[in-house]
Amino acid sequence: MAKQTAIFLLQFFEKLWINCGKAERKMEAIPLGYHSSHLPNQNQFCDYENCDFIFNTNGIVLICGHAYHEECFDRIGLKCQYCFEYLSASIDELSHSFNERLKMNIDIENEFDQMHVLSSEDDNSLDQAEIIKENNDIDKELADKIAVENFHSLVRRHTSGKVTCGEWLRRDAMFIDYHRNDNQFAQSFAPKRSYPYTKKNLDLMAKRTAIFLLQFFEKLWINCGKAERKMEGARIKKPYYYFPPLSKRFSFGAIPLGYHSSHLPNQNQFCDYENCDFIFNTNGIVLICGHAYHEECFDRIGLKCQYCFEYLSASIDELSHSFNERLKMNIDIENEFDQMHVLSSEDDNSLDQAEIIKENNDIDKELADKIAEFTCNMNTFY
């Protein structure tokens, strides 16, 4: 296929070279340079009128069709001077034509208005009172229609497009109108004359809340370190944790990251750093993973939890290894399929191998002939 493509391109460009300069004039689809007053020069490379590089063909060909040396293109300000002049003149011409048409339309409208005023002065004197009354009626009807249309748009905006029944639309309209005029959410923030709670009731509720919180945290403190781990599930057993006095269970994924690592947060001492020297010091930080460190110990381990970092690194390595194993398995399956396909295709190709070799030889011969013919034509031209 590559050789056949090469033969086609040689023939095509040979025809273009032979017919160079024989183009017919048709302005719609040709580049912009052929619309300008200075057409792209076919006899020399550069279209700059003061070009000094006559025999130099190194430069750029613009999309408009004009070509310039780089030095010449810099001299004219990095723009095609002929196409710029053509576009500027075309824009000025279109602007002038547009202004003339606007002026003509304004003159026609003024003349028509003058004729209309002269003819209407005689007729308006008779029925002026009726027109004023009719205008007032129209304004009143229009005001009523605007309110109806606005509410209809509001109903349609808050309902589905599938709702076409009149009774359903009436029900939705009543619901929207009620919430517009009786907004309980807004009224809850509006000032009221009588507050529902007295100062005595507020003090009583604050004390009851304080008693509940004290009892709750007291139970948590008493049951500290008594969490239970149970395997539950109808089909697949999964680990769940129970923290007394809470009756709700928590899945393994809901507990902090430190309880997933090999070194659980220590309940007997504050700092989880294994080489900690501040045994009786409880001033430090508790991380979101559950591990706690003194500030000095946290600086020693590089401002990161070493146990959670090791756990995450090992998990990432495990996932990467599993992913690579799956990729390797897919590659082995594809290779096995390709081998089977190759073996089956070798049997089919063995029958017509002679024809392919003969066709390749013919294409090689034809390509060599075309290259020689093209070279001969170029030498003859020069």
Q: Are 281 and 292 in contact (CB under 8 A)?
A: no
Alpha-carbon span 253 to 259, nearest angstrom: 10
pLDDT, residue 48, reads: 86
- The type of residue at 295 is E
pLDDT, residue 361, reads: 74
- The type of residue at 374 is F
pLDDT, residue 208, reads: 92
Query: DSSP string of 235-271?
Result: SS-EEEEE-TT--SEEEGGGS-GGGTSSSPPPSSSS-
pLDDT, residue 64, reads: 86
pLDDT, residue 312, reads: 93
pLDDT, residue 69, reads: 87
Two structure tokens written together for 68: 């310039």
Sequence length of the chain is 382
Whether residue 245 is preceded by a cis peptide bond, meaning omega within 30 degrees of 0, is: yes
pLDDT, residue 309, reads: 92
E strand or H helix that includes residue 228: strand 228-232
Alpha helix segments (H runs only) across the chain: 2-18, 70-75, 81-124, 128-157, 166-181, 184-187, 199-222, 295-300, 306-349, 353-381
This prediction has a pTM of: 0.33
Alpha-carbon span 310 to 80, nearest angstrom: 65
Integer Rg of the chain from CA: 45
Query: DSSP string of 289-338?
Result: TS-EEEHHHHHHTTSS-HHHHHHHHHHHHHHHHHHHHHHHHHHHHHHHHH
Q: Chain centroid to CA 263: how far? A: 44
State the 10-residue block means of pLDDT for the chain, 382 residues long. Answer: 78 73 60 82 82 77 86 86 87 82 78 66 62 69 62 66 69 69 61 72 90 89 83 86 84 85 84 85 86 90 91 92 86 74 63 69 77 69 48
Q: Are 337 and 318 in contact (CB under 8 A)?
A: no
Alpha-carbon span 376 to 17, nearest angstrom: 13
Q: What are phi and psi of 66, to 5 degrees?
A: -75, 145
pLDDT, residue 330, reads: 77
pLDDT, residue 343, reads: 65
